[in-house]
Chain A
Amino acid sequence: MSAMSPSRRGAGATLAELVVEHVWDVLRGPSFRFVAATAAAFVVFFARAPGPWVNPVFFAEDRDWTTLLVTHGFWHTAFHARPDYAVLGNVAVLWGGMRLCDLAGDDVLSIPRYQALVSYFAFALVVSLPVLLLRRRLRPGALAAVWLLAVSMPLGIHSGSWSGYEILGRANNVGFAALFVAFLLVWVRLTTHLRPARAAVIDAGLATCVLTNPIATALLPVAAWPALRRLAPVRDRAGLRTAALAIVRDPAVWTLAAAVLACLAGNGIPTAVAHGDRTALAPPMPFDRAIECGLARSLFYSLSWPVYRWLNTDRTVALAALALWLTWRFGLPRHRWLYAGGLGLLALTSATLVFKRPELAAHLGDYRTTFPDRYFYAQYLVGLPLMAAFATDLGTRLAARPRLARLPLVALFALAALAVVLEPPGKIADSQFIVDDDGCFSRSAARAVALGAWRGADGKPAADGAFVGIPAHPSMPKEILLPRAAVERAITAVGASRTPPVLTAAAPATSPR
């Protein structure tokens, strides 16, 4: 209810009073909670990993895909950056960064900073989505716990590994989160009355997720369940005809079909082809590593991360079995489909990693390190709403004892507090500065222009090429192509303010001392 009386809402109220009254309405609404949660998550993620903004470099695929964006445009990059599947979401982040750089009036050499901003925003949006999408499915306290756990998710930022450097603020690893978004969208799709407009939005979101992370393809058949369910009571041919007609007339079926067609057009028929020498040549993942990768990191990392370094194969299997039994035994029957679906998705992801990415075994550290966290943070996120639903179920079962009923939710908040303690946002980790630019890129660009390192759109030297080939970083000497005219403008504009290359006097090669 509004803080103002109905009479004030009508005649006599000033414009300011009416606006203030609406402000109260806005503050009570779910959209405000979503916007505020996104803004807060943005700041928290920036505080956790400020490196990409204060120390920007074109990193890994971000460099290659930015080159493709510059030379071939958005759609080509989204669908051809990788040979095996589309990376629509990742490319959208990179493209958004480039447009933001334009809007801010900054020079082309500053693009990675703005791509970092858009990346923080994308991660913030993803972790805040439950606040909006699950507001009628989880209680406010549970939603708050999910959000807190999501923004404080353990990412190995203070471990000294590359994990802290390559996720937040980067675009190349945003795509993993599409699995989590697809999970939320399917959850909503299965539990809501699907008006055509809502179905279209959800299915467009699903298609975007699948065209970013192909594992989300597994959720498309699940999304069709409400339509398929109409066939369940069919007993004769007439009933079948009626059910089929009802399915065909359902707009939500058409929007889903359009999404599936878009996914097929973008990704093709899913095939089990290993891409890259490291995957093709890697031996099958050993059993212990498979348990570490598939169970400890993927299936129940949302629960196991506080004791991860204490785990081994036996303990992992025992804890996973205990967690599954507890879920089945104490979860409310009306949520069992959710647990089965969520855990099934995690199991599928685990199996995909174990059987299709066996080279990961070489990176896993026998429970001593969580690197490479990028492959696992999405599974962690998927586990959070499951944990919140389970905590709510436990609370319901304990409703007769109010004090005990709050304990499960309190435990979730305690877990979030532990995550904040272990990876404090205010303490900037060394991992943020693993690769230092220190003006190197600007100097490399100036040198590339001075030497006339012109390139064609294919990356080959061309005297009249529209692009400049610039080594992205001394430790990552692969070139990035940027528009020649924009780079020349940037160098002219900032050349005087940058430290010029220092030419030291030639000294003879020294003799051994």
Chain B
Amino acid sequence: MATFRHDRPPTDDRLTACRAAGAVRRVAAWTLVVATILAAGGAAFALVERAARDELDAIFGRPGVPMADVVGLAEVVRLADGVRVEQSFRPERDGLDGVQVRTATWKVVPAAADCRWRLVADADDGSAARVIRSGTLDPRRARDWTFLEIPFAAVADSSRRRLSLVIEGPADDPGAALGIPLFTPAIPHPPAVVTGSGPAAGCLHLMLLYPEGEPRR
């Protein structure tokens, strides 16, 4: 490494060598500094990412299995004035203990309203269907285009049943209402049924929840 000695007169060659050595040291110093910044930044980034992924899972709830893949938005049903949406499906596994339904809120938080849901088991022998689970849901929990979770007690033999999820809006119009988007399924699937208009143009984007869960990503 060339260095400048004060006890000897400088020459052009020695000055050039000193400048080159200085440049190398500057590059080395900058490399050290930038590497430190990148390492610190990377560590901070990883911390934030971990927190964000935890938050993501908390917001979307536990991972579920899609009832059917969807590819495009068909329409959004506004849950008001007693409108009811019904979607039939057949779970692939036993122990179904909840569903997540994709909701739309038109970029606002929906107003409190009396929304009810029920899970109906179709009878395979032609007898009347019966309600096996039911409850209410709070529209204020819904966010635009995210999933709203509806948990219920596990249906032990769910894989052997054909089920229908019915969601019913309040009898009046709450103003900022909850919306249920219907999508075009990627593969043929029974469409939802909307009160008053019969089979709709699409089906619910529904995730089926099981106790053992499903890897989110």
Contacts and interface: CB of A to CB of B under 8 A. Distances in A.
A276 interface: no
Given A39-B37, A443-B186, A504 B92 contact: yes
A401 to B, nearest CB: 40
Contact of A55 (B56, B162, B191, B205): B56
A115 interface: no
Contact of A35 (B37, B68, B88, B146): B37
Interface in A29-73: 32, 35-36, 39-40, 42-43, 46-47, 50-51, 53-55
Given A46-B45, A160-B109, A474-B72, A510 B193 contact: yes
A433 B181 contact: no
A280 interface: no
Contact of A10 (B4, B28, B49, B190): B4
A503 B122 contact: no
| B72, B107, B147, B183 interface centre (most CB from chain A within 10 Å) | B72
Given A25-B29, A510-B86, A432 B52 contact: yes
A477 B53 CA distance: 26
Nearest to A434: B144
Contacts of A508: 88, 190
B41 A42 contact: yes
A501 B187 contact: yes
B82 interface: no
B135 to A, nearest CB: 16
Interface residues on chain B, size class: 35 or more
A35 B34 contact: yes
Given A43-B44, A502-B65, A512-B195, A436 B190 contact: no
Contacts of B129: 510, 513
Contacts of A25: 26, 29
Contacts of B189: 504, 506
Contact of B90 (A11, A13, A505): A505
Nearest to B86: A510
B19 interface: no
B56 to A, nearest CB: 6
Contacts of B70: 440, 474
A50 B52 contact: yes
Given A18-B1, A512-B193, A499 B66 contact: yes
Interface of B: 1, 3-6, 25-26, 28-30, 32-34, 37-38, 40-41, 44-45, 48-49, 51-53, 55-56, 59-60, 65-73, 86, 88-92, 102, 104, 107-109, 120, 122, 129, 143-147, 162, 164, 166, 181, 183, 186-191, 193, 195, 199, 205, 214-217
